[in-house]
Amino acid sequence: YFDVSKPWLNRVIERSEKLTLKAVDGVGFSIRRGETLSLVGESGCGKSTVARLVVGLYGLTRGKLVFDGEDISDLAGRTGRQAASVRKRFQMIFQDPYASLNPLWRVGTIIGEPLRFFRPEMSSTDRRRRVGELLEQVGLSAPDANRYPHEFSGGQRQRISIARALANEPEFMICDEPTSALDVSVQAQILNLMRDLQDEYGLTYLFISHDMAVVKHMSDRIAVMYLGRIAEIAPADQLFENPHHPYSKMLLAAVPSLEGVGKERTVIQGEVPNPVHPPTGCAFHPRCPHANERCKAEVPRLIARSDGSEVACHGVEEGRLP
């Protein structure tokens, strides 16, 4: 869980005031209850920044954040119970489970921590029972509560962090590259666990990944990000079958099958420009084979198409690209 009153967190928020303005701009999307929306793109495209804005780890400089009808744009600045009422409904799962598990604590203490914070009225017996249940839900066993994080493999540690995330029965999970630090053989197991938990508890996922094979396995809808903006957002099948944006096409050109998860990486022509000084107009224009003068001058807006996708590309809008 996140406790905004911790000084290190306040420092992150302060520092990010400057960063966020540059990192993401004009990103707008909504996530429906029970679905998985994935953010994909190369590193530096702003997908992790969006995740941190959504959970209130970074403050919004402008724009609006609404969760279940409530305006939570001020979440990063909230403290105490006012923050806790929203925050306990969210959980975040990170790429490196080891970094987020206190090595000095037994697993039972780690998983019980959010319960102690959000449900101080729970007795220690009930808490131990709940921790045992959570361990079993993620494919571990109740006695594992007595062991320490270093005694587990990478995949098991990610199961522990998932158990901790589930402790308060969250509705909304933000998963930032949850399997990219894991061995290929373990990735699919963790992804399948996450899908099973979603079905069982009706969880909503914002899923962040640079790996198109992982995203294909997980998503209902996909938002392709490029340099802090959304290039295209579409239902997953639609995007894989018929991507419109030239950048989506490049990303999808070399998607490995799920059996190849993590083995093969999409290779894209050209360098990713510096996100702090993005190119003028369409930020993708230096790498786009279809760029013209308008592309260099004017930022394309996301425009809805009849097939359910939204695309930010002048070429698509003008009908010169399919």
The residues binding ligand SF4 (CB under 6 A) are 245-246, 282, 284-285, 288, 290-291, 295, 300, 313-315
- CB atoms inside a 10 Å sphere around CB 293: 9
**β-bridge pairing 66-67 and 310-311:** unpaired
Residues in the chain: 322
Rounded to a whole number of angstroms, the minimum distance from the CB of residue 251 to ligand SF4 is: 12
79 within 8 A of 2, measured Cβ to Cβ: no
Quote the CA–CA distance of 218 and 220 in Å, as a whole number: 7
Select from ligand SF4, Mg ion, none the partner in contact with residue 290, using the beta carbon and a kind-dependent cut-off of 5 to 8 Å: ligand SF4
- Pick the closer one to ligand SF4 by CB: 89 or 290: 290
48 binds, options Mg ion, ligand SF4, none, Cβ within 5 to 8 A by partner type: Mg ion
Q: For the CB of residue 43, give the shortest distance to Mg ion in the complex, in Å.
A: 6
Give the C-alpha separation, 121 to 124, whole Å: 9
Q: Which does 246 bind (CB under 5 to 8 A by kind): Mg ion, ligand SF4, none?
A: ligand SF4
Q: Give the nearest distance from C-beta 250 to Mg ion in angstroms.
A: 19
Taking phi first (over 0 means left), then psi (-120 to 50 degrees means alpha), and beta for anything else, what does residue 44 get?
left
Residue 157 binding target from ligand SF4, Mg ion, none, CB below 5 to 8 Å by type: none
Nearest Cα to Cα of residue 205 among 237, 233, 165, 168: 165
Which backbone phi and psi does 303 adopt, to 5 degrees? -125, 130
Question: Which of residues 1 and 226 has its CB atom nearest to ligand SF4 in the complex?
Answer: 226
Rounded to whole angstroms, how far apart are CA atoms 240 and 248? 9
User: Among Mg ion, ligand SF4, none, what does residue 313 contact (CB within 5–8 Å per kind)?
Assistant: ligand SF4
Phi-psi region of 63 (alpha: psi -120 to 50; beta: other; left: phi over 0): left
* Least distance in angstroms from the C-beta of 118 to Mg ion: 27
Residue closer to ligand SF4, measured from CB, 31 or 282: 282
Segment near Mg ion (CB under 5 A); pick from 42-50, 56-64, 273-281, 303-311: 42-50
48 sits near Mg ion (criterion: CB under 5 A): yes
Binding residues for Mg ion, per CB under 5 A?
48
